[in-house]
Chains A and B, each alone.
Chain A
Amino acid sequence: QKEVEQDPGPLSVPEGAIVSLNCTYSNSAFQYFMWYRQYSRKGPELLMYTYSSGNKEDGRFTAQVDKSSKYISLFIRDSQPSDSATYLCAMNDSWGKFQFGAGTQVVVTP
């Protein structure tokens, strides 16, 4: 069983809708949680970085972490066609063990 589970999608939403993405994990040692965005045929780029449980906002993006449920989420408000990409969750522990989710493909239609 994978330590990090993420629905691969694709997730298709109309422009302006809220995109909701999530990952579950099984390793309670994970402390740092990230969301990366990857456009087709490009390398991933970091979107959000969180350390503790709770919410973190950055513009149209909100990351949520619930350590008690081992569940993290990313919300994209007012989605745009330029948000169409694959979103990968990632997490690591204090010893450097790093795990990525499989990625969710998001398509925002005009």
Chain B
Amino acid sequence: NAGVTQTPKFQVLKTGQSMTLQCAQDMNHEYMSWYRQDPGMGLRLIHYSVGAGITDQGEVPNGYNVSRSTTEDFPLRLLSAAPSQTSVYFCASSYSLPTSGSRRTDTQYFGPGTRLTVL
């Protein structure tokens, strides 16, 4: 199993450009999510999905779009990049929405991250 993969690893954008961060998992996980990590802020949830065709907003969704057409893939789209979106982005997946009280199903597996700089 490759686990959770993310591409690209690094990206530099100019203000106003758009791009898509790719995330894929091969563990047949239903729950997938996108986080951004900024110094002193920890991980903040952007969007999440509980299955193909179902997505919902997290804590900081503005400026980002997601879709989930397959179980494996969960791309994150930046519509018009802004310097405030400079961050490290992590994709994560788990068997189910992490609320069951079971370590096996609730454990979120993270990808290696994408470092994005917006000039």
Interface, chain A (partner B; CB < 8 A):
4, 6, 8, 31-32, 41-46, 49, 51, 88, 90, 92-96, 98, 100-103
In this assembly, does B53 line the interface, its C-beta being within 8 Å of a C-beta of chain A? no
A92–B99 touching, CB < 8 Å: yes
CA distance A102 to B107 in the complex (A): 19
Q: Which residues of B contact A102 (CB under 8 A)?
A: 40-42
B57 to chain A, nearest CB (A): 12
Q: What is the total number of residues of chain B having a CB less than 8 Å from a CB of chain A?
A: 23
Count the A-B residue pairs with Cβ separation under 8 angstroms: how many? Answer: 53
A98–B98 touching, CB < 8 Å: yes
Q: Which residues of A contact B111 (CB under 8 A)?
A: 43
A51–B101 touching, CB < 8 Å: yes
Q: Which residue of chain B lies nearest to A92 when distances are taken between CB atoms in the complex?
A: B98
In this assembly, does B90 line the interface, its C-beta being within 8 Å of a C-beta of chain A? yes
Q: Which residues of A contact B110 (CB under 8 A)?
A: 43-45
CA distance A8 to B39 in the complex (A): 9
B90–A43 touching, CB < 8 Å: yes
Contact with A along B30-47 (1 / 0, CB 8 A): 000001000011111100
In this assembly, does B71 line the interface, its C-beta being within 8 Å of a C-beta of chain A? no
CA distance A90 to B45 in the complex (A): 12
Q: Which residues of B contact A95 (CB under 8 A)?
A: 99
A sample of 25 cross-chain residue pairs with beta-carbon separation below 8 angstroms, ordered by A number, consists of: A8-B40, A32-B101, A32-B106, A41-B113, A42-B113, A43-B4, A44-B43, A44-B90, A44-B110, A45-B109, A46-B103, A46-B107, A49-B106, A51-B101, A88-B43, A90-B43, A92-B99, A95-B99, A96-B98, A96-B99, A100-B42, A100-B43, A100-B44, A101-B42, A102-B41
In this assembly, does B112 line the interface, its C-beta being within 8 Å of a C-beta of chain A? yes
